[in-house]
Amino acid sequence: MHTPSVASPPRPPEHRAAARFAGVLALCSALLVVLVAVGWYPLMTLDDSIAVTTHRWAVDEDGVTQTFRILTDWVWDPWTMRIVAAVAVVWLVWRHHARWTAVWLVATCALGTLLQQSLKAAVGRERPVWSDPVDSAHYAAYPSGHALTATVVCGLLLWLLHRYGAGRALWRTAVTVAVVSVAGVGLTRVWLGVHWASDVVGGWLLGALLVALAVTVHQRWRP
């Protein structure tokens, strides 16, 4: 008579999907880092073309530029995103007594900050330079910390809302806000001339990779 295996149960579909998605994102992220680091000519040319065009628009459209500065410096600033994550930590502990998940959220956000700063130092890409700048930023360009942080925080919070059964209205509102925030912060960084387009794409890819890895860890090792 056949005896059923007592090995660990198969991974749930969501677990496998997150792991596969993380693999694809890791490959794309690594490829883009290499292309930026070696200064691949087609990518540099595309970045330069986009930067020149958007900078011309930024100089001509002063009202839009000032609005984008407010959005990028206050609404979608990395510190604003971290404050939102801190509120979520309080919600997890106070409402759901989910201390392990709260620590997981803090650790993932901290890892995102460490990753972006490490890559900035390693790649050392210079930011765009203009004779008539409309904004300024410090440190190296790649990847965009604004884009990475927004992607990590919005992605994790969306997953948590889904996991804790958010209502349809709340879920749709959260998705809309997240998409607008992640896409919008990338647009503002390029428009204001402080990042190349590939810096933003790199931030999005790395942020999404962290979210996918964090979800995989949570699903596999949460007590």
**pLDDT tens figures, 15-62:** 677 778 899 999 999 999 999 999 999 999 999 999 999 999 999 999
What is the distance between the alpha carbons of residues 222 and 47, in angstroms, rounded to a whole number?
41
| Amino acid 8: pLDDT | 43
| Amino acid 15: pLDDT | 66
**Tokens linked to 26:** 């890791």
H-helix or E-strand containing 156?
A: helix 145-163
**pLDDT tens figures, 166-181:** 899 999 999 999 999 9
Closest alpha carbon to 92 in 74, 79, 109: 109
| Amino acid 13: pLDDT | 61
CA angle 153, 156, 159 (to 5 degrees): 145
pLDDT beneath 70: ranges in the chain: 1-15
**Residue 171: what residue type?**
W
- Residue 119 burial (C-beta neighbours within 10 Å; 0-12, 13-18, 19+): buried
Q: Give the residue carrying structure tokens 């919005």.
A: 154
| Amino acid 12: pLDDT | 57
DSSP 74: I
| Amino acid 2: pLDDT | 47
